[in-house]
Amino acid sequence: MTPPASPASSAPRSDAGGRLPGVPDAATVLLLNSGSSSLKFQLLDPVAEVVHASGIVERIGQDRGQAHLEAGDLRQPYSGEVPDHKVAMQIVTGLFEDAGMSLQEANVVAVGHRVVQGGARFSSPQLVDSWVRNQIADLGALAPLHNPAAVQGIDAARELLPDIPHVAVFDTAFFTALPEESRTYALNAQVAAEYRIRRYGAHGTSHRYVSEQVSSLLASEGTDVSDLRQIVLHLGNGASASAVRGDAPVDTSMGLTPLEGLVMGTRTGDIDASVYAHLSRSAGMSIDEIDTLLNKSSGMQGLCGMNDFRDITAAIRAGDERAELAMRVYVHRLRKYVGSYAFTLGGLDTIAFTAGIGENVPEVRERTLEGLEAFGIVLDPAANARREKGVRTISAPDSAVRVLVVPTDEELAIAQQSLEVARSAR
């Protein structure tokens, strides 16, 4: 089968009542988060902090792709072949057309691309030109699961929207400022230099955004935040911890790639590097097979067959011992990081939980911080159990360390940075 010439035209039109509210007056940013088989998108106003529409194209390159766009009550679906990112991009623009909001008329002033690996070079968002695009492709050697997909998304989007500035926002940018002793592996220095092996971290946009939220909240209460000692726990499907002093990162749990650190949905997190050699020699597995095992079928999934914490907590309540052990392994790793970062920082002022699990699973927060009263960490059980939106404090009033839940908004942060870069480039 050949891809449809105009894929989006086959997406059913919504009735007039379900249409998007029309062309926004204010500047908008189109955000693209390109994975190997998916393309997530959002159209938003980064100043008013309003999301006009969002959606995803899935199963790119597989038998049958699917996509949808959501805006308010409207859900615009698409199903059909999506052989590559170029067609995926055509579907995105078509979905907007069919929803009554042409991207050409939506006052899009920047297209923001989320890029996982920016190497040591990119400490800030970049306007994408051919040189930047080629650098991102070159950094694919360090992030083979992520950067090649980002380049495909960038190429497709630049081709389809050539007159709009494209901006790459790097997950690693915040952590380019890590101190040398924290970013350097105790690996042969020559080999490390030749192959650019060091700790780059990831989720930097979220760690920066959340730590800034914490700082501004405390500053608004009159606290001097210039030297604030923070731990941020970003617990989503991927998970990472960071130690931040003032506005500078001091340490983070992800390393050369997002595999290192905390236990994740499907990733091992920290593991003895000898596991690669052992599985290669004893199980005859190839490097790619081991990579896939450690990244895609380990972590919570590999321990208990589930990676969604809604299922895991329900299974624990029902007496599932594998799920309980998986949770204990998950929390044990988290506590190790909290303890080590508190020492690294020479004391601790705040701990912030964020992302899907950090924001929604009180059991994880409680188990991570239980029994730490001697270290000045006292949770308020009622506040922790409450399901609220927004930034909230869950520590007791007499806790020396302030514990907060801070919803992350990577999309908004990427959109705001993209807008800033696009404007300053004019």
Per-residue tokens: 409: 């908004």
Q: Pick left, alpha or beta for residue 92 (phi over 0 → left; psi -120 to 50 → alpha; otherwise beta).
A: alpha
Contact present, 10 and 80 (Cβ < 8 Å): yes
* Active-site residue set: 171
Q: Which helix (H) or strand (E) holds 338?
A: helix 321-344
**Distance of closest approach, residue 315 Cβ to ligand ADP, in angstroms:** 12
* Amino acid at position 424, single letter: S
Is 54 or 360 the residue whose CB approaches ligand ADP more closely? 360
Residues 6+ apart with CB under 8 A from 11: 67, 76, 77, 78, 91, 94, 95, 98
Which residues contact ligand ADP by CB under 6 A?
Answer: 236-238, 265, 307-310, 355-357, 360-361
The smaller minimum CB distance to ligand ADP, of residues 254 and 355, is found at 355
Separation of alpha carbons 133 and 122, rounded Å:
12
> What is the closest distance, in whole angstroms, from the C-beta atom of residue 200 to ligand ADP in the complex?
18
Nearest residue to ligand ADP on Cβ basis: 356
Nearer to ligand ADP, 60 or 300 (CB): 300
3-class DSSP state for residue 130?
helix
151 within 8 A of 138, measured Cβ to Cβ: no
Quick one: 218 or 415, whose CB is closer to ligand ADP? 415
Specify whether the CB–CB gap between 411 and 45 falls below 8 A: no
φ and ψ of 190, to 5 deg = -65, -45
Give the span between the Cα atoms of 351 and 339, in whole angstroms.
11
Longest Cα separation, the chain: 66
* Residue whose CB is less far from ligand ADP, 19 or 322: 322
Distance (Å, whole) CA 122 – CA 120? 6
Query: What is the smallest separation between the CB atom of 361 and ligand ADP, expressed in angstroms?
Result: 5
- CB–CB of 365/377 below 8 Å? no
* Cα separations in angstroms, 369 against 175, 362, 384, 385: 26, 11, 11, 14
Q: What are phi and psi of 40, to 5 degrees?
A: -95, 145
Nearer to ligand ADP, 312 or 401 (CB): 312
Q: How far is the CB of 90 from ligand ADP (least distance, A)?
A: 25
Q: How far is the CB of 330 from ligand ADP (least distance, A)?
A: 11
Q: In angstroms, what is the minimal distance from the CB of 255 to ligand ADP?
A: 17
Q: Quick one: residue 246, left, alpha or beta (phi over 0 = left, psi -120 to 50 = alpha)?
A: left
Q: H or E stretch including 304? A: helix 299-304
Rounded to a whole number of angstroms, the minimum distance from the CB of residue 299 to ligand ADP is 11
Number of alpha carbons in the 13 Å side-chain half-sphere of residue 198: 23
Query: Judged by CB, which is closer to ligand ADP: 252, or 307?
Result: 307
Amino acid at 27: A
Give 78 or 309: the residue with its C-beta nearer to ligand ADP.
Answer: 309
CB of 307 to ligand ADP, least distance (A): 6
Say how far apart CA 201 and CA 179 lie, in whole Å.
Answer: 12
Question: 203 is written with which tokens?
Answer: 């989720």
